[in-house]
Structure 1
């Protein structure tokens, strides 16, 4: 076990000689510039803006320029897109008389100088210009601004949404998600063909949970008084000590809690010093509206020996990104990042 305040090499991920990114543990960056260029080309090439309304015909010809950078970072299903693009589109318009004869043709440019992930929730600036500033040219430009700007922005929003879902990595991520579910389904099918006696025995041990959620149960033994362990779990400064992360823990019922640098938030539900802690917990990576219940009971069968029983209910099987490792990671977190760390820092053996 590493000394307090030092890194433990068992938990440090080192680069493999073969470069394999096992289970997507490392951040993997994908250059999306060419993919973005193709995306905009498909969206805007020969896109019709007006097809005869007011005897005006306007369309976007093609992407004249796309410069900047675009990339997607992915780690364990979490997607972080990044892009700063400057895009120019060419457009052309035609005005006809009532008999369908062409009065004038005009060409122009649509410039979007800054499309960025920093402003993903805002529409970028769109500048429309025309080469012929005559009366008809101005009329075509005004029509392009009035009708075309909305079309252009809608297509940019499609790009922003596509990048948020992984851009060129989306299909790979979806395939991994399907594969993960297939493995889980296969495991269920394999279990279903176990001998009847074995199945019955497992049914006795099974904890009834809502579909899509699991319950974690754990028992740990410490060489300390129950009240000491209770105080450690309810004291934010001691939390900071053994987890090496920020924590805010209220000692009042209905008081808020925030641990692991805010990755976990919740509220106290019920407390009895040295005997019981009940809290609502939710992780930032879970889908909105989901929370779980943590129940910790303390038993002291003899002085200086404490048995901790943990029941963590309503833990979702998947997070908001489709990762099916939530239960496994939560259970490992309780064991390795909380209980084992308490032993290492405060010397409570067993």
Structure 2
């Protein structure tokens, strides 16, 4: 038993201004149902796919039934969500003929992986046969699966902000088991911890330049938005991020290991930024230029890197491939071949 005046620090409340849930020891719960309902509707509404037969778009989300909540105990977040969804899609053939059908997802749940979702897509009974139903059952279903996966990402990042409170010694505990693993992976993007002080060499360092390119199955405007929209950056990095998508705006992502500033923005065409890893010499930034080229139903992304420290060339290349290219494709379903 603790001596008088030496209480268990988990219960000491005077060090917090609000005097609540010190060290995240107590069980707290947050209802995410209303937020989730709005988020699911916004993600599904307007979703579209097209091919040589025509174009299809989700025009109404008629059913969002279920619930979602997040529990915090001892600094660990436990997610619960279960949804039954129904939406209407409208197709327009190249001949101008319109069709209607439904999308049903009865088992969006924390107990099911995205690959296990039942996505049922059909034409309305009074509609004639059309090749657009095949488009919806292939590309359409894949895109539905992708946006529902992004909902889970937003739930675990955007909605959870503030649930893990600072502890008595000022350190915030990790948010969840899955995020803990992600954090360990992401810190490998630099050779030192993100909390370590940057090295100030006081001298010029040898640098290099290189370029990379990749193909994404989406349009230039969609891919451009992935880099400048904070919610989308949080989705593909699976963590909190700060992104001010304007010229002169700052960004910080991947647990603070990557940060910089947008120096030039040409909507849907080009992004130029000052960019660095946390462990680079103090105040040293590379210049990264992203060019978005329209390749019909695809977008070619060219990445030119100048001023990268020689010793960091391979690490920087691998970081862009893994934490940008591959992560974006997996999160948003833009997968395609690498050059």
The normalised TM-score by structure 2 is: 0.43
Larger C-alpha radius of gyration, 1 or 2?
1
Highest RCO, 1 vs 2 (Cα 8 Å, sep ≥ 6) = 2
Q: Which has the higher helix share?
A: 1
The normalised TM-score by structure 1 is: 0.42
